[in-house]
Amino acid sequence: MKTNKMLTGMMAWGFPLLLSLISCSEKSSSELTLQQATLHKQVTLTNEENAPHCEIDMKLHYVTANGKGAAAAKAINDTIIDRLFFMQQLTVQEAIDSFANQYSRDYVSNLLPLYQENKAKNEQFPWYECYYNMSSDTRQDKSGTLNYIVELEYFEGGAHGVNQKLAMNFDTNTGQLLTLNDLLVPGYEKRLNDLLLKALMEKTKAANTEQLNEMGYLVATEIYAPENYIVGKDSITFIYNPYEIAPYAMGKTELSLGYDELKELMPAE
């Protein structure tokens, strides 16, 4: 399943620098600084003792800067907010506060009628105990590139929770989100897909696509390059979350392609 936007729980969804971000609140040569916005919230379904509840935990980095780095910092933060929450003109802290408030309201409005109906029938179900956890990590494996990586885990009922890994890559000089069109030459798509299919076969030790299908891979889709990847020092790692190219039970699939393999697809320096 291909997704152009990241998903956030009940709402349809989707990072340390020639600049150097070493740790939270530690200044770089470009005056860019990493900070962290946090939130912990618990909302109960009713006012009864031991009522079901939803736990929301969020810890997300954002960038601050003075002088020449201010525009890049704003561009990075604006993209993070838009990609994760579909919000604009907010700080990261304001965005996670707004999201948590809406998520809490949705939790009560969606589940309270069902809970009251079940309770009237003396029925008990575990899916009223929900959680939503989102945290970020940052890397700077490749000079001039900030990797912003989000781990998302939530449970809203059903057979199991949802786990996703979401990545964005930023040019630290401009704050621009780096897409594959920025990194690779025009017409790269087919060759890149071929390389990814080869990498998947090597990872799984499959001899052909039929064997991949038997393992559960690519049953409902052909291989494709997701806009979910980490630009590293020596390679680009493509991330497929559960259900994208394989069933939930297979977990996340990560395929790394070295720059030597991608040499023909990269612009000449």
pLDDT at 31: 64
Q: What is the mean pLDDT of residues 230-259?
A: 97
131's tokens: 């959680």
Same fold for the domain at 1-178 and the one at 180-269?
Answer: no
The C-alpha angle 103, 108, 110, rounded to 5 degrees, equals 90
Band the pLDDT of 2: cuts 50, 70, 90. Answer: very low
pLDDT at 61: 98
Separation of CA 235 from chain center: 19
Helices (H), the chain: 70-85, 92-120, 180-183, 189-204, 209-215
pTM of the model: 0.87
Residues 24-70 have pLDDT tens digits of: 333 444 567 899 999 999 999 999 988 999 999 999 999 999 888 99
Q: Which residues contact 225 (CB under 8 A, 6 or more apart)?
A: 180, 189, 192, 193, 196, 238
According to CATH, what is the number of the domain 1-178? 3.30.565.40
In eight-state DSSP terms, residue 220 is: S
The CA distances from residue 227 to 107, 169, 189, 224, in Å, are: 30, 10, 12, 10
User: Among positive and negative, which fits the CA dihedral 46, 48, 49, 51?
Assistant: negative
Architecture of the 180-269 domain = Alpha-Beta Complex (3.90)
pLDDT at 124: 80
Contact 175, 254 (CB under 8 A): no
Q: What is the mean pLDDT of residues 4-11?
A: 34
Query: What is the enclosing helix (H) or strand (E) of 63?
Result: strand 53-65
Q: Whose structure tokens read 């991330």?
A: 239
Helices (H), 121-220: 180-183, 189-204, 209-215
| Pairing mode of beta strands 145-155, 162-171 | antiparallel
217's tokens: 């891979």
- Nearest-angstrom CA–CA distance, 60 and 139: 14
The domain ranges of the chain are 1-178, 180-269
Q: Is 44 helix (H, G, I), strand (E, B) or coil?
A: strand
| Pairing mode of beta strands 145-155, 130-139 | antiparallel
Residues 112-168 have pLDDT tens digits of: 999 999 989 988 888 899 999 999 999 999 989 999 999 999 999 878 899 999 999
Contact 197, 203 (CB under 8 A): no
